[in-house]
Amino acid sequence: MPSRGAETVATVTPLHPPREAAPLLEVDGVSLEYRTPDRLVRATHQVSFEVHRAERFVLLGASGCGKSTLLKAIGGFLSPVEGEIRLDGRPVRGPGPDRLVVFQEFDQLPPWKTVRDNVAFPLVASGTAARREARERAAHWLDKVGLARFADAYPHQLSGGMKQRVAIARALAMQPRVLLMDEPFAALDALTRRRMQEELLALWDEVRFTLVFVTHGIEEALVVGSRIGVLSPHPGRMRAEINSHEFGLASEGAAFQAAIRRVHGLLFDQAIEPVPADAARRTA
């Protein structure tokens, strides 16, 4: 695997110029709410964290705790009812191609574009690349995610996992400053997932984008992330932040297992709802 290994990161000292020391992304006391006809649903409550340039920040939390909502807010699609999200010190006002999002849903690919065009389109639309170059980059990244043979297919002809891989290729081809990924590998089998993780980290090694990554896999969090934020169950509040820059794709040993257990504890030591009382009664 590429040069980035546990040692490399671990030996880093704060040599950066002062400008670098300021966080790139600041989530500052952010509460997010949905307004429904009957009631107000609070998705996150006063969540604060900072993501520095080139950090790989992973968000972990129970289902429904507000991870996707938080990601959408960073993407600029939702504005906080409380607190502020700042990028480079400036409040986030709306969406933009500098913060590309891989959504959790399968229907994020415009169905009227072929797989290739789906990857190339944002490059052209955002002015990142000319049409020709965009198509070349698209071909490159489709090859990386194993979909070169499906470049001319339309999204509805793909399986769930294949759709997600197109979305991943699209995001990686864009090489945005901040990459926001919402459970991108959830629909992938172990091998494909591992290959995607490798590609993601290889690209990070190359261009050092900043990553905010949502996942349910604790192992994946440790492998992909350099820092992990743990959210409490619904409504999401910050529970902990831990470092995971030491772990990489090759990690396996006792320290890794200990870290997994630690995160597991942080996530689940208070159960969301107690298991219903009648669960024990019900046996054949």
Partner 1 sequence: MSALNPPIRPEYEIAVAALPERAAARPLPWRTRLWQQPGLRRGLILVLLALAWEVLARWQANDLLLPTFLQTARALGEGLASGELVEKARISLLVLLQGYLAGVLAAFVLTALAVSSQVGRDLLATLTAMFNPLPAIALLPLALLWFGLGRGSLVFVLVHSVLWPLALNTYAGFQGVPETLRMAGRNYGLRGLRYVLQILVPAALPAIVSGLKIGWAFAWRTLIAAELVFGASSGKGGLGWYIFQNRNELFTDRVFAGLALVIVIGLAVEGVVFQTLERVTVRRWGMQR
Binding residues vs a second copy (CB under 8 A) = 2-4, 34, 36, 38, 41, 60-64, 66, 68-69, 104-107, 143-144, 146, 148, 152-153, 157-162, 165, 183, 186-193, 195, 202, 205-206, 208, 216-218, 264, 267-268, 271-273, 275-276, 279, 282-284
Please, which of residues 55-94 interact with ligand ATP by CB under 6 A? 61, 63-69
Please identify which residue in 104, 197, 232, 244 interacts with Mg ion, judged by CB under 5 A: 104
What is the per-residue binding string for ligand ATP in 149-168, x denoting contact by CB under 6 A? -------xxxxxxx------
User: What's the half-sphere exposure (Cβ side, CA atoms, 13 Å) at 160?
Assistant: 8
Nearer Cβ to partner 1 (71/145): 71
Q: What is the dihedral of CA 69, 77, 29, 201, to 10 degrees?
A: 70
Q: Which residues pair with 33 in a beta bridge?
A: 42
Please identify which residue in 154, 186, 193, 202 interacts with partner 1, judged by CB under 8 A: 154
Please, which of residues 30-69 interact with partner 1 by CB under 8 A? 37, 40, 42, 45, 52-55
Is 8 among the residues that bind Mg ion (CB under 5 A)? no
User: Min. distance of Cβ 49 from ligand ATP in angstroms?
Assistant: 15
Nearer Cβ to partner 1 (145/236): 236
In angstroms, the CA 40 to CA 137 distance is: 44
In angstroms, the CA 217 to CA 230 distance is: 12
Amino acid at 140: H
Neighbours of 54 (CB within 10 A): 15
Eight-state DSSP code of residue 236? B
Q: Is the peptide bond before 233 cis (omega within 30 degrees of 0)?
A: no
- In the complex, the residues that contact partner 1 under the rule CB under 8 A are 8-9, 12, 14, 16, 20-21, 37, 40, 42, 45, 52-55, 72, 75-77, 82, 94-97, 99-101, 103, 105, 107-112, 121-122, 125-127, 154-157, 205, 207-208, 226-227, 232, 235, 237-243, 245, 266, 270, 284
- In the complex, the residues that contact ligand ATP under the rule CB under 6 A are 34, 36, 41, 43, 61, 63-69, 104, 156-162, 187, 234
